[in-house]
């Protein structure tokens, strides 16, 4: 049987007008617990990427995405699985992002993020943000 394909994971980089971006902490007991990531999650079967991004950010942060554009689709391999991290920059939303799942939330300018505190795949996203 063919091995399972990569997990398609949506990630949203919420960017405020002052340039700060939102990072969220992975909860205890989960893969990469204690590291920081961009909020999001797995795409559901037959869901288009933008709809998955909107759904995940509604579920995790309680916001309604209004404007977003694709930044990069990053293929990544962890020991146990592979993912395609489909990353969008979110420039406008309704509501105030809150920790609906009890996760830590922090706003930082990309230059102030410490790469080692991010999920490994997200370190590549950070490089793209810094290059842009
Ligand atoms: N949402 C999100 N997931 C990421 C990022 N970077 C990264 O490596 N991942 C990995 O992508 C996988 C899928 O994320 P997820 O949020 O749906 O999954 P999860 O572990 O919370 O599990 P669950 O929602 O099934 O309980 C996780 O293993 C997570 O570690 C990121 O920036 N955002």
Domain assignment present for 1: no
Domain assignment present for 61: yes
**Residues 45-93 pLDDT 10s:** 999 999 999 999 999 999 999 999 999 999 999 999 999 999 999 999 9
CA of residue 9 to ligand 1 center, whole Å = 7
Domain assignment present for 13: yes
**What's the pLDDT score for residue 21?**
98
Q: What is the pTM of this model?
A: 0.95
Domain holding 24: CATH number? 3.90.79.10
Domain assignment present for 66: yes
CA of residue 83 to ligand 1 center, whole Å = 9
Q: From the alpha carbon of 121, which atom of ligand 1 is closest?
A: 8
Q: Count structural domains, the chain.
A: 1
**Residues 86-120 pLDDT 10s:** 999 999 999 999 999 999 999 999 999 999 999 99
127 is in which domain, residue-wise?
7-131
Domain assignment present for 112: yes
CA of residue 8 to ligand 1 center, whole Å = 10
Ranges of H-type helices in 24-107: 49-61
Strands, E assignment, 5-131: 7-14, 21-25, 36-37, 40-42, 64-77, 82-94, 105-108
């Amino acid at each position: 049987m063919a091995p399972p394909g990569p997990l398609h994971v949506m990630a949203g980089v919420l960017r405020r007008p002052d340039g700060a971006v939102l990072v969220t902490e992975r909860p205890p007991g989960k893969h990469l617990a204690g590291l920081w990531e961009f909020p999001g999650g797995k795409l559901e079967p037959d869901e288009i990427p933008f709809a998955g991004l909107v759904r995940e950010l509604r579920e995790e942060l309680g916001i309604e995405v209004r404007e977003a554009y694709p930044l990069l689709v990053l293929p990544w391999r962890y020991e146990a699985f592979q993912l395609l991290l489909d990353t969008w920059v979110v420039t406008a939303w309704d509501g105030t992002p809150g920790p609906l799942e009890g996760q830590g939330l922090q706003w930082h300018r990309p230059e102030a993020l410490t790469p080692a505190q991010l999920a490994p795949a997200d370190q590549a996203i950070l490089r793209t943000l810094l290059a842009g």
